[in-house]
Chain A
Amino acid sequence: MASMTVLEFERQIAELESNIAKIREIANRENRDVEHEIADLEQNRDALLHDFFQALTAWDNVQLARHADRPYTLDYLPLLFDDFLELHGDRVFGDDGAMVGGLALFDGKPVVVVGQQKGRDLKERQKRNFGYSRPEGYRKALRLMHLAARFGHPVVTFVDTPGADANVPSEERGISEAIARNLREMSVLRTPIVSVIIGEGGSGGALGIAVADRVLMLEHAIYSVIAPEGCASILWRDPARGPDAARAMRVTARDAREFGFVDEVIPEPLGGAHKGPDATAAAIKDALARHLREIGRLSKTRLLAGRYEKFRAMGRFLDVAAPARLDAPPPAPVPAPTYPETEPAADVQHNP
């Protein structure tokens, strides 16, 4: 069953549902009792849904993460926050529609929100650059994050991009520098950061706003070093082998959790986030509150040490005997630093 694509599957479910509606309509008109038949059909539909989602492939998740109806950052913000006030621009060149950000209240407390944004119709998609963030987006994000740190508010970021924009204008304005700077600055940003991967976690374009104390991920979101099609076309010269690449690169939320890249997988309603944006938002809100509370208790020193160690530990390698000609004395072991449990009273917020 899972060999069917998500869209085919959804079409089949939609057909079932329209059949149920038709039967009900006919029954109403002819005044016949069909509740039993309808209950059977509905049971069929639910079983189908359940089975399909039980056996989701990596590629199914890729399609769900890119689903045209999937809620985007701006869909979630009113469900998660009060009084979102969008702020624009990077103070250098322009404003990137593919990255939104601003101030908001979460459970009554101020937070700075940054998120990647896709569009639904053609006009909006163009405005949002199809979700491909540009240098101005990363610079705006960093400007807002610095603002958060300066005034002691946490940062929440929402990741949803196929990747950073690789067009000529972005290259000319230093897309690489913009991402690199965010990676460096976020690693030492003196305020709690939580990132939520809500859709596509596309490579460096995603990571550019996801160096966080806690990284959360929706159940059917993906997080990947390169788009599966890109990987397939480089390795096998065949972009059609995206499904193989998605499986090999382990792009699903479950994989990311298994390897320690994300701290929690947030469940989605059966059928995907687009089948229940409110329920999805409620689950995100619950997780956000928990993680913000946990990291909000830490001293800044501990917070930053924990963030550094988290990313420092990401890697799997072997330590084999060095080839004979490359012998060199090993470097002296560095003693593990100790960090105070609580913030010293004199520790003030620094302007980054």
Chain B
Amino acid sequence: MPDWFRRRTPQPMNERSPDVPAGAFTKCAKCGHILYAKDFERDLKVCLRCGHHHRLTADERIEYTVDPDSFRETNAGLATADPLRFPDYAAKAERGREAAGRNDALVTGTARIGGYPCVFAVADFTFMGGSMGSVFGEKFVRAADQAIESKLPFVLFCASGGARMQEGLFGLMQMAKTSAAVAQLGEAAVPYLVVLTDPTTGGAFASFASLGDVILAEPGAYVAFAGTRVAQQAQTHKPPPGYQTSEFQQERGMVDRVTPRKELKDTLARLLSFFGGQSGSNGEEAAAGYGDTKNPAGIASASRNGRGQA
């Protein structure tokens, strides 16, 4: 498990090549292929050669997924408390704040994807491994409440190592809290779309991340109940090839579609359209069509003018 706490952002290759401007090239974290930085950005940080999907910060994810300037953050002021006064927790949270530029690991707000308004949440792995503490759970529930209130679909990108140990049972209980919120989304017939990204494990995968109406996953992501360390201990069965990847989870029926990063935005827009969304420039007007299960006309009108904007 600990190796995913380390940042794996590609390092600039400028020390052995003095003629090259700093940051012009990066190296694939998986295959080591040297990539032209501009191409790497254009390819949404997917390796040109091996297809490795590099981890993204919340800001990068928002930039790559939602319509330009459509994201409005909510509840950004919710910040980590230290309810158990757990050793080193305050310092770790502070480092997380510096690394992620956020107050905790879940970023929530509203946005548009291909013109379709939605409530949008993304877990930032750079903040303590995306782990789920009180703030994560509270922001998740508030976002779900907002989705129900405004009848907007809830789109969530997960990257999380699970419950945050430093909050003890407060961490564990976020599994129940978020799952209960998903039940409320279901009762209100508000679509809940989940995208699993690298890595999604433990308490996250065993709660809200496994409960999407539709579950997409990025290729090659580590998606599992057991983190690597647990998985290696005392296994009585030989793991099959590709064990605990997105592809494995799709094969075992736990994921609807493994979807490459460059297709995610379009796929999400199609799903939002299917679930009755109406695209448009005004969120309030467009929102009226959602969740109204008695009005399937919303689907028809959406499919006429929806995807062109993606």
Please list the residues of chain A having a beta carbon within 8 angstroms of any beta carbon in chain B: 164, 166-177, 179-181, 183-185, 187-188, 203-204, 207-208, 211, 223-226, 230-231, 233-235, 248-251, 255-256, 259, 261, 307-308, 311-312, 314-323, 326-332, 334
Tell me how far the C-beta of A114 lies from the nearest C-beta in chain B, rounded to whole angstroms.
16
Question: Chain A contacts of B210 at CB under 8 A?
Answer: 174, 176-177, 180-181
Question: Chain B contacts of A316 at CB under 8 A?
Answer: 81, 83, 134, 167, 170
Question: Chain B contacts of A170 at CB under 8 A?
Answer: 225
Name the CB-closest residue of A to B134.
Answer: A315
Question: Chain A contacts of B1 at CB under 8 A?
Answer: 234
B206 touches A204 (CB 8 A): yes
Question: Chain A contacts of B253 at CB under 8 A?
Answer: 174
7 A-B pairs with CB atoms under 8 Å apart are A179-B206, A207-B176, A211-B179, A250-B84, A308-B180, A316-B81, A331-B74
Question: Chain A contacts of B238 at CB under 8 A?
Answer: 168
The CA-CA distance from A232 to B176 in the complex, in Å, is 24
Which of A184, A225, A323 lies in contact with B183, CB distance below 8 A? A184
Does residue B48 face the partner (Cβ distance < 8 Å to A)?
no
A317 touches B80 (CB 8 A): yes
Tell me how far the C-beta of A240 lies from the nearest C-beta in chain B, rounded to whole angstroms.
16
B83 touches A259 (CB 8 A): yes
Question: Chain A contacts of B175 at CB under 8 A?
Answer: 179-180, 183, 204, 207
Name the CB-closest residue of A to B71.
Answer: A328
How many A-B residue contacts, CB cutoff 8 Å? 219
A223 touches B211 (CB 8 A): no
Question: Chain B contacts of A261 at CB under 8 A?
Answer: 169, 173
Q: A188-B187, A250-B84, A250-B168 are in contact. Are A318 and B225 (CB under 8 A)?
A: no
Which of B2, B146, B163, B173 lies in contact with A315, CB distance below 8 A? B173
Stretch of B229-237, B259-267, B287-295 that contacts chain A:
B229-237
Q: A204-B202, A204-B207, A234-B165 are in contact. Are A168 and B235 (CB under 8 A)?
A: yes
Beyond A204-B172, A225-B167, A319-B78, list 4 extra A-B contacts (CB 8 Å): A164-B206, A204-B202, A316-B83, A331-B75
Does residue B189 face the partner (Cβ distance < 8 Å to A)?
no
Which of A167, A181, A311 lies in contact with B237, CB distance below 8 A? A167
The CA-CA distance from A90 to B244 in the complex, in Å, is 24
Q: Which 5 A-B pairs have the closest CB atoms?
A: A315-B134, A183-B179, A187-B180, A166-B226, A168-B237
Tell me how far the C-beta of A332 lies from the nearest C-beta in chain B, rounded to whole angstroms.
7
Contact with A along B60-97 (1 / 0, CB 8 A): 00000000000011111111110110111000000000
Does residue B205 face the partner (Cβ distance < 8 Å to A)?
yes
Q: A183-B176, A204-B207 are in contact. Are A177 and B79 (CB under 8 A)?
A: no
A168 touches B168 (CB 8 A): no
Q: A234-B229, A320-B79 are in contact. Are A312 and B172 (CB under 8 A)?
A: no
Name the CB-closest residue of A to B164.
Answer: A225
The CA-CA distance from A256 to B83 in the complex, in Å, is 12
Q: Using a CB-CB cutoff of 8 Å, which residues 201-227 of chain B contact chain A?
A: 202-203, 205-211, 224-226
